[in-house]
Amino acid sequence: MNPVLELSELRAGYGTGDILKGVSLYVERGKIVTIIGPNGSGKSTLLKTLIGLVPVREGDILLNGQSIRAFGATRRVRAGLAYVPQEYNVFANMTVLENLQISHEFAARKGHRPAGNVLSDELRELFPELAGKLATRAGNLSGGQRQMLAFACALSVRPDLLILDEPSAGLSPKYMADIFKSVERVNKTGVSVLMVEQNAVEALAISDQCIVMANGRVRLDATARQVEQMDLHELYLGPLAEQAA
């Protein structure tokens, strides 16, 4: 087994307490893993810790077998991570083109692509709507288009692991379906995906593995198919709620 990501006993948090209370999990290369769980379980914090926005207190993060715990965010991106935050995930005062250019320039320095089109054919295919809006200020895009742009920028750097924080949040059903389709297509090109989602049903449908978090810990780590069989309501409101209390 060659996991692209491995976490061991990760503890992290803001302020005085720990939000992540010892998280251990791994993401197999080329798979899509979805994290679900009640609010406040630390899902978002986990992603922020992975990308380097929240400091690690204990434990380790291994990307492609290499410890990235001591890396700053920029170095982690260079090492093969890409992160799409839930909110404020585009540079609102810059145009779509400029947003893409920033990621493109980073990728060029990383050595992943020769000087080519900022909006490559691949990206153009995945996100056709962006092609016509290159000169639009990112803040003026609709929610769904912003999400597309954020996604495109993350993909631009050719990550090994794409980390998504609630990619479908606040999107209309059409865009939601589009996003999940895009995640699938991207995954088929070899990019591993780790995402946090509230729209569990749609997310699990495209996932390979599912991790359930509550209270800063992993409560369940099973295949997506197995979790789909479970009654999610019971999962959230029943045993997990008791454990969380």
According to DSSP H, which parts of 12-90 are helical? Answer: 43-51, 73-79
236 vs 239: CA distance, rounded Å: 7
Query: What is the nearest approach in angstroms of other proteins to the Cβ of residue 92?
Result: 7
Nearest to 141 by CA among 94, 195, 210: 94
Cβ-based nearer residue to other proteins, 108 or 244: 108
Cβ-based nearer residue to other proteins, 14 or 66: 14
By CB under 8 A, name the binding residues for other proteins. Answer: 14-16, 48, 51-55, 72-74, 77-78, 83, 85, 88-94, 98, 101-103, 105-106, 110, 153, 157
Cβ-proximal residues to 201 (8 Å cutoff; 6+ apart), any chain? 228, 232
Cβ-based nearer residue to other proteins, 78 or 219: 78
Query: What is the nearest approach in angstroms of other proteins to the Cβ of residue 208?
Result: 25
Query: What is the nearest approach in angstroms of other proteins to the Cβ of residue 102?
Result: 6
21 vs 5: CA distance, rounded Å: 18
Query: What is the nearest approach in angstroms of other proteins to the Cβ of residue 205?
Result: 28
Whether the CB-CB separation of 26 and 7 falls below 8 Å is answered with yes
| Tokens matching residue 216 | 């800063």
Cβ-based nearer residue to other proteins, 73 or 206: 73
